[in-house]
Structure 1
Amino acid sequence: MKSFNIPDYYRSTIVSPLKELRRKRDKLKRDFSPTLLDFGPVQILLARHFGFCYGVENAIEIAYKAISENPKKRIFLLSEMIHNPEVNGDLLSRGVRFLMDTAGRQLVPWEELTQDDIVIIPAFGTTLETQQKLSAIGLDVERYNTTCPFVEKVWNKANQIGQKAYTVVVHGKPTHEETRATFSHSKEAAPTVVVKDLAQAQRLAKYITGELPREQFFQEFNGQYSEGFDPARDLQRIGVVNQTTMLASDTQGIADYLKQVMIQTYTLLPDEVERRFANTRDTLCYATNDNQDATYELLTNKADFAIVAGGYNSSNTSHIVELCEEKLPTYFIESEQKILTPTLIRHFDLHQREEVVTENYLPTHEPATILLTCGASCPDAVVEGILLKLVSFFPNARSLATVMTDIQQSYSA
């Protein structure tokens, strides 16, 4: 796989070598078991796959290249480069400005831009409408376009099934930058509707079967369907694609459900299914799949709690948090700075949508066992900081050098 030139301070002298060691031992990615770091009184199980993916490293490389190549020009990002505060904060400190926030609200008026400015397209991609505005100003929208190739893969799939007269059903968070971009591209090729979860897919099914009146659709799916959408006409042939960072099991569940609805509604035989339901296969990115599979394997191990690191508005990270919360106490943190003391941790509550402080999170028994992972937009350096902070609370812990030697020997045996 291509290697990218990203700032060294995003790397880790601990985590990155462990990843490389596991990669060399398992080039086909068949082993999803975690890496055990046994410090004696505390044991940390590190997920097999986590952290910067291809698309994120590609985006970071292009963004820093834009900064170095244009020292005297104004540089703008459409919105956050990726959903990680460390990376976005560093770019802002270098003079980069955001044109919009993550919800698409304008921060810098289009009228302030000139053709001499530099605009970076984030990894999530952007809408065709925004591209057209930038082009009208005279800006080169492709020069520093960091759109993830796996996002573009979804756009291509939507276009392909649209050309075959299917309506595109997008499984994604309606307000997420990537879903907004995918919706924009998809609606150029086909009628398009967004569903955020299985419950909303089940509501959509009632318009497929005719159980609910056509007029109610427009209120229920307000802001989630393309112009001119007619549920009576456009839900007769459908195909499902997704925001690349959704839970694979959720997307598959929605696709399987809608497929069965079409089979029952139109009494389809096995060889007739594709007349009504497009074969889109999985459009999740490889990193999302790997990270989720590694999390499932991580959770087969007994532990006292899990820590998941990443940006609080990161979709792929929040899904990992959801998986962990089903099994054990889970703390979603941005960095080691949220680990306040051995008895206090500040973390993000997905349900309340705010940070909370939990007391006495560390167990009183030894060895304490902690699961540790992060999202696809989280630097290895952040995971290292969390690991070292946790170990520092155990004065009798074995040295890092000893632990690393043990791991290297165990994987070379």
Structure 2
Amino acid sequence: MKSFDVPVVYRSPLISAVKKARKEEDRMKKDFSPTLLHFGPLKIYLARHFGFCYGVENAIDIAFRTVEENPGKRIFLLSEMIHNPQVNGDLKQSGVTFLQDNKGRQLIPFEELTAEDIVLIPAFGTTLSIEQKLRGIGIQVEKYNTTCPFVEKVWNRSEAIAKNNYTIVIHGKPSHEETRATFSHATANAPSVVVKDMQQTIELAKYILGEKPAADFYTEFGGQYSEGFNVEKDLQRIGVVNQTTMLASDTQAIADYLRETMIKKFGLDDSTVKDHFADTRDTLCYATNDNQTAVTGMLNTPADLAIVIGGYNSSNTSHLVELCEEILPTYFISSEEKILSPQTILHYNFHTNEELVTNDYLPSKEPVSILITSGASCPDALVEAVIRKLVSFYPQSKTVEDITEAISK
């Protein structure tokens, strides 16, 4: 796989040593058990896979190289490059200006741009209408496009099933940048509708089965269907794709439910189901699959708590939190600064979108066992910083340097 030039500030000697050792031991990625870092009174279990993925490293490489190669030029980023506050903050400090926030709200009017400006397309991609608008100004969209290839894979899958006259059902968060981009590309080829979860899928199935009045669809799914969508006509043949960072089990359950709905509606069997339901393979990216499977493997290890590190608006990170919190106390933090002391931690509840303070999060026993993972847009340096902060609470611990040296031998 291609390697990228990512700023050294995002790297970690400890995490690099861990990942290198695990890769050499398990080149086929069949072992999803965590890595134990035994500091003595503190035991850290690192997930088998976590941190920067291919698409994120590609985007960071292109963005910082663009800044370096274009001194004096105005450089804009369409919206957040990735969902990590440190990386986005570093880009701003390097002179990059954001045109939109991550909800698509305009911060700087497109009318202020000129053909001499550079506009970076983020890893999530963007809509066809925005691409067209930028081209109309004379901006070279393709040259500075950091769209993740696994997001583009979903667009290609959508186009392929659209050619066979299937309506596209997108499993994703309707307001997420990637889902908005995928919806735009999908609707260019076929009628499309977004379902955000299984509950919405169940309601969609009721329209397929004729159990709910068709007219109600347009209110219930307001803002989530393509222009001119016809409930009675466009739900006869469907295929499911997804936002690449959703929970794999959720997407599979949604696809299975809709498949069974079509079988029930049209009296199909395995040989005829394709007449009404497209055989779409799962469209989650490899990193999302690996990171989620690694968390499942990590959760087989008895521990006192879990810490998940990443941007609070990161979809893939929130799903890792979701998996962990089913099993044990879990703290979602954006950096080591959220660990206020050995007694107090400031962490994010993504269900209510608020930060909470929890006291006595570390048990008063030794050794303390902590599971740690991070999202696909989280620098390894942040993971090391969190580990260092935790180690600092145990004066008799081995040092991070001791552990790094032992792994590297």
Question: If the length of structure 2 is used for normalisation, what is the TM-score?
Answer: 0.99
Deviations 1:319-358 (A, max 9, x none): 0001111011111001101111111111111122111111
Deviation at 1:27, TM superposition (A): 1.0
Show CA shifts across 1:365-404 (max 9, x none): 1000000000000000000000010011001112334434
User: Are 1:36 and 2:36 counterparts?
Assistant: yes
Say whether the 8 Å CA contact 2:11–2:381 is kept in structure 1.
Answer: yes
CA drift of 1:405 comes to 4.7
Task: Please list the CA deviations of residues 110-164 of structure 1 after superposition, one character each: whole Å capped at 9, or x if unmatched.
Answer: 1100111110000000000000000000000011100000000000000000010
Q: Does structure 1 residue 182 correspond to structure 2 residue 182?
A: yes
8 Å Cα contact 1:37-1:407 kept in structure 2: no
* 1:407 positional shift: 4.1
* Structure 1 partner of 2:239: 239
For 1:287, the aligned partner's letter is A
Matches of 1:47 and 1:102, distance apart in 2 = 28
- Provide the C-alpha distance between the structure 1 equivalents of 2:12 and 2:230, rounded to a whole number of angstroms: 52
- Quickly say closer, same or farther: Cα 1:7–1:404, change in 2 above 3 A: closer
Alignment of structure 1 residues 58-207 onto 2, 5 Å: 58-207=58-207
Residue of structure 2 equivalent to 1:397: 397
What are the equivalent positions in structure 2 for 1:162-311 lying under 5 Å apart? 162-311=162-311
Between Structure 1 and Structure 2, how many residues are aligned? 409
Q: Distance in 2 between the 1:222 and 1:401 partners?
A: 55
AA paired with 1:281? R
* 8 A contact 2:17–2:408 mirrored in 1: no
CA distance in 2, matches of 1:322, 1:158: 28
For 1:156 and 1:172, how far apart are their aligned partners in 2? 17
Alpha-carbon deviations, 1:147-195, whole Å to 9, x = none?
0000000000000000100000000000000000000000011100000
Q: Deviation string for 1:239-281 (max 9, x for gaps)?
A: 0000000000000000000000000111102100100000111
Output the CA distance in 2 between the equivalents of 1:76 and 1:406. 44
SS at 1:31 equivalent: coil
CA distance in 2, matches of 1:402, 1:66: 38
**d(CA) in 2 for partners of 1:183 and 1:50?**
28
Aligned partner of residue 282 in structure 1, secondary structure: coil
Q: Answer whether contact 2:17 2:404 (CA < 8 A) is retained.
A: no
RMSD: 0.9
1:271 partner SS? coil
The CA distance in 2 between the partners of 1:173 and 1:103, in whole Å, is 11
* Distance in structure 2 (CA, Å) of the matches to 1:368 and 1:272: 55
CA distance in 1, matches of 2:131, 2:405: 51
**For the residues of structure 2 that align with 1:222 and 1:64, how far apart are their CA atoms?**
39
Give the match for residue 323 of structure 1.
323
* SS of aligned partner of 1:193: strand
The one-letter amino acid paired with 1:131 is E
**CA positional deviation for 1:65:** 1.1
Measured after TM superposition, the shift of residue 24 of structure 1 is 1.5
Are the equivalent residues in 1 in contact too, given 2:205–2:261 (CA < 8 A)? yes
The code of the aligned residue for 1:27 comes to R
The AA in structure 1 aligned to 2:390 is L
- Secondary structure, counterpart of 2:225 in structure 1: coil
Secondary structure of 1:244 counterpart: coil
Deviation digits for residues 45-86 of structure 1 (CA, Å, limit 9, x no counterpart): 000000000000000000011101111111100000000001
Return closer, same or farther for 1:276/1:349 CA change in 2, 3 Å cut-off. Answer: same
My pick for the range that moved more, 341-350 or 290-299, is 341-350
Distance in 2 (alpha carbons) for counterparts of 1:77 and 1:237: 38
Give the 3 Å change call, closer, same or farther, for CA 406–5 of structure 1 in structure 2.
closer
Unmatched 5+ residue regions in structure 1? none
CA distance in 2 between counterparts of 1:90 and 1:163 reads: 42
CA distance change for structure 1 residues 8 and 404 in 2, over 3 Å: closer, same or farther?
closer
CA contact (8 A) 2:84 2:314 kept: yes
Which piece of structure 1 moves more, 123-132 or 343-352?
A: 343-352
For the residues of structure 1 that align with 2:261 and 2:319, how far apart are their CA atoms?
A: 27
Name the aligned partner's letter for residue 237 of structure 2: R
Measure the CA separation in 2 of the matches of 1:408 and 1:362.
Answer: 29
SS of 1:369's equivalent in the other structure is strand
What's the % identity of the aligned pairs?
Answer: 64
SS, match of residue 358 in structure 2: strand
Aligned-residue offset at 1:406: 4.5
SS in 2 for 1:143: helix
Give the equivalent residue in structure 1 for 2:340.
340
Deviation of 1:25 (Å) = 1.4
Range with bigger deviation, 394-403 or 378-387: 394-403
Matched with 2:51 is 51
Unaligned runs of 5+ residues in structure 2 are none
Residue number in structure 2 paired with 1:19: 19
Q: Distance in 1 between matches of 2:399 and 2:54?
A: 33
CA contact (8 A) 1:344 1:359 kept: yes
